[in-house]
A and B are shown apart, each in its own frame.
Chain A
Amino acid sequence: MKRTAGSLALVASAAGAWELYKAIGSADGTSVGGVRVLPRADDAAMPHLWTVLHRLGEPELNGGAPIWEVLVKACLTTLGIVSAGFAAGALVGLALAVLMERSSFAERGLLPYVVLSQTVPLVALAPVIAGWGGQLMPQWATVSVIAAYLAFFPVAVGMLRGLQSPSAEAVELMDSYSAGWWKTLVKLRMPASLPYLFPALKLAGAAAVVGAVVGEISTGTRGGIGRLVIEYSREATTDPAKVYTAMLGAALLGLAVTGVLTLAQRLLIKEIRT
């Protein structure tokens, strides 16, 4: 209850800050020595929040359903892509973590590449994945692959830390029972890694949303929220509020994904404590 009130207060104060700056900020922005340090506060750059909300209720330029409905549909499409990408990424991350925990050779060999994988710019990688995958799978699946590519990383790194978290004595205890690698994994390392796993999964969820949105844009996939962001931003000069509705949709999608993961965490942690 307290937490809900806290987050509502935070949203309210962010909205307040937006409107406050819009009221007192210069319409042309504030420049120091030719460099703009504060953004423009005119209606084109910063529409009133109520204009954005109002825009949600109206249809797109060529008519049809109100924008909020279009957004919800697009978000659900993207959510499907995100779910597939997240699931695949989390599984790959888990498998890599288990492999790296199993053998220090694998850890030394793989970990640098796991880290390196995230330094490749996504905009460069997305067309490559789309090009390769285009022959093998539907377009939405190539976007899922891009989402998975971002999602596996926090899981692999976080889970590896978690699997390595039991003390030397706890591992010796399992050895003293001559419990093999598998039993030690299931009875000791897996449960011990849960406090590391869930924060990693939440990061992976957010990364999967980013991956899906960017993936949709760079592969030109239609129907998702990423596509709407790019479409609506083309109308930024004539209909600025519309751009913000799409961004709002993307943000809410990210929140929904992490919300679901938080819920899953609560349920699972309760389940595992016996």
Chain B
Amino acid sequence: MIELSGVTKVFNPGRAGEVTAVAAADLTVAAGEFVSLIGPSGCGKSTLLRLIADLVPPSSGTVTVAGKPAARARRDRDYGMVFQKAGLFDWRTVRRNVELPLELRGTGRSERHARAAEMLELVGLSEFASHYPAQLSGGMQQRVSIARALADAPPLLLMDEPFGALDEMTRERLQGELLRICAATGTTVVFVTHSIDEAVFLSGRVAVMSARPGRITDVIDVDLGERTEAVRQAPEYFGYVTAVRQALRGPAAAVPEQAGPAESAPAVRAEK
């Protein structure tokens, strides 16, 4: 679905404010995968997401999305995007917000209605269709923005810290919902977060990034089977959390290269 090879992004090249936001990133995401990008603030994870989205052009390297150059994929609307702020248009009702991508595509009115109704059903907000965004809670707004991103059925969902501004309870509920929605629609997801728990709970793989210059230092496979709420209590889960945390702290602190639950889980138990 996505292939990054040697992708580098330098902002303000040759000027005083020159910053290498992303350096030589390689990453492959297969269709149906859920991959998180995690790292400290300023490590370029959001920039990497925007490179995939073709919202910023790479300085060098190639970005391939759905088998074509990223720019082409953007024109073909191969992905939907969800930001940290829901970014709903507050002069539009919830339903008309969800219809926005279809409207821009020129979809007919009745089909738009039907599709928006379907999407709102999916995120459990059917009865709020004619509300305005200001009348909804932050969590509900974010669900609307997920519905909007999925409205024209893109095969790929790009999410930039979508639950970052939500409280812990809402966040956990939405994580569960997101996994359910992705499983139902078969959508591939690239998910930017700075929460280790969130990355481990949601992802099949976690790409760990380091700052200045932003590079992918580690990619950790997370094998936790079906994600139920019970997974949050499982020792294997804590094992992966530890593995990601160690990877984030850098190569010096990381214990084995291929950190798996078997090695790191006991370490967690010892700590507790």
Which chain B positions have C-beta within 8 A of A194? 91
Choose the segment among B5-13, B33-41, B72-80, B220-228 that binds chain A (4+ C-beta atoms closer than 8 Å). B72-80
Output the least CB separation between A176 and chain B (Å): 4
Which chain B positions have C-beta within 8 A of A173? 81, 83, 87
Considering only residues 189-213 of chain B, those with a C-beta below 8 Å from chain A are none
B53 at the interface (CB under 8 A from A): yes
A179 at the interface (CB under 8 A from B): yes
Closest residue of chain A to B85 (Cβ to Cβ) is A169
Nearest 10 CB-CB pairings of A with B: A169-B83, A176-B81, A169-B87, A178-B75, A191-B91, A177-B104, A170-B87, A273-B91, A179-B104, A178-B74
Instruction: Pick the contact of A170: B77, B89, B93 (CB < 8 A).
Output: B89
Instruction: Pick the contact of A176: B79, B84, B91, B93 (CB < 8 A).
Output: B79
Contact (Cβ within 8 A) A274 B96: yes
What would 8 more interface pairs be, CB under 8 Å, given A192-B91, A274-B96? A172-B81, A176-B53, A176-B55, A177-B105, A178-B75, A179-B104, A272-B91, A274-B92
A188 at the interface (CB under 8 A from B): yes
B132 at the interface (CB under 8 A from A): yes
Which chain A positions have C-beta within 8 A of B55? 172, 175-176
Q: List 8 A-B contacts (CB under 8 A).
A: A172-B81, A172-B83, A187-B103, A188-B89, A192-B89, A272-B91, A274-B92, A274-B96
Which chain A positions have C-beta within 8 A of B132? 273
Q: Which residues of B contact A (CB under 8 A)?
A: 50, 53, 55, 74-75, 77, 79-81, 83-85, 87, 89, 91-93, 96, 100-101, 103-105, 132
A167 at the interface (CB under 8 A from B): yes
Contact (A167, B87) CB under 8 Å given A172-B81, A176-B53, A273-B132? yes
Contact (Cβ within 8 A) A191 B104: no
Contact (Cβ within 8 A) B104 A183: yes
Output the least CB separation between B265 and chain A (Å): 39
CA distance A192 to B87 in the complex (A): 12
Output the least CB separation between A93 and chain B (Å): 22
CA distance A195 to B100 in the complex (A): 21
Output the least CB separation between A7 and chain B (Å): 29
Which chain A positions have C-beta within 8 A of B104? 177, 179, 183, 187
CA distance A183 to B132 in the complex (A): 22
Output the least CB separation between A271 and chain B (Å): 10
CA distance A187 to B132 in the complex (A): 17
Contact (Cβ within 8 A) B75 A187: no
Contact with B along A98-120 (1 / 0, CB 8 A): 00000000000000000000000
Considering only residues 152-182 of chain A, those with a C-beta below 8 Å from chain B are 167, 169-170, 172-173, 175-179
Considering only residues 249-274 of chain A, those with a C-beta below 8 Å from chain B are 272-274
Q: Which residues of A contact B (CB under 8 A)?
A: 167, 169-170, 172-173, 175-179, 183, 187-188, 191-192, 194, 272-274
Output the least CB separation between A178 and chain B (Å): 5
CA distance A188 to B53 in the complex (A): 20
Which chain A positions have C-beta within 8 A of B93? 273-274
CA distance A175 to B101 in the complex (A): 11
Most buried by A among B80, B85, B89: B89
Output the least CB separation between A228 and chain B (Å): 43
CA distance A176 to B74 in the complex (A): 6
Output the least CB separation between B157 and chain A (Å): 11
Closest residue of chain B to A180 (Cβ to Cβ) is B104
CA distance A172 to B93 in the complex (A): 20
Contact (A177, B83) CB under 8 Å given A188-B89, A194-B91, A274-B92? no
Which chain A positions have C-beta within 8 A of B79? 176
CA distance A194 to B101 in the complex (A): 22
Output the least CB separation between A273 and chain B (Å): 5
Which chain A positions have C-beta within 8 A of B87? 167, 169-170, 173
Output the least CB separation between A133 and chain B (Å): 40
CA distance A106 to B60 in the complex (A): 31
Closest residue of chain A to B154 (Cβ to Cβ) is A176
Instruction: Pick the contact of B89: A175, A177, A183, A191 (CB < 8 A).
Output: A191
Contact (Cβ within 8 A) B91 A167: no
CA distance A167 to B90 in the complex (A): 12
CA distance A34 to B246 in the complex (A): 84
Contact (A178, B77) CB under 8 Å given A194-B91, A272-B91? yes
Closest residue of chain B to A173 (Cβ to Cβ) is B87
Most buried by A among B80, B87, B92: B87
Closest residue of chain B to A272 (Cβ to Cβ) is B91
Which chain B positions have C-beta within 8 A of A169? 83-85, 87
Output the least CB separation between B267 and chain A (Å): 40
Which chain A positions have C-beta within 8 A of B96? 274
Which chain A positions have C-beta within 8 A of B85? 167, 169
Which chain B positions have C-beta within 8 A of A175? 55, 74
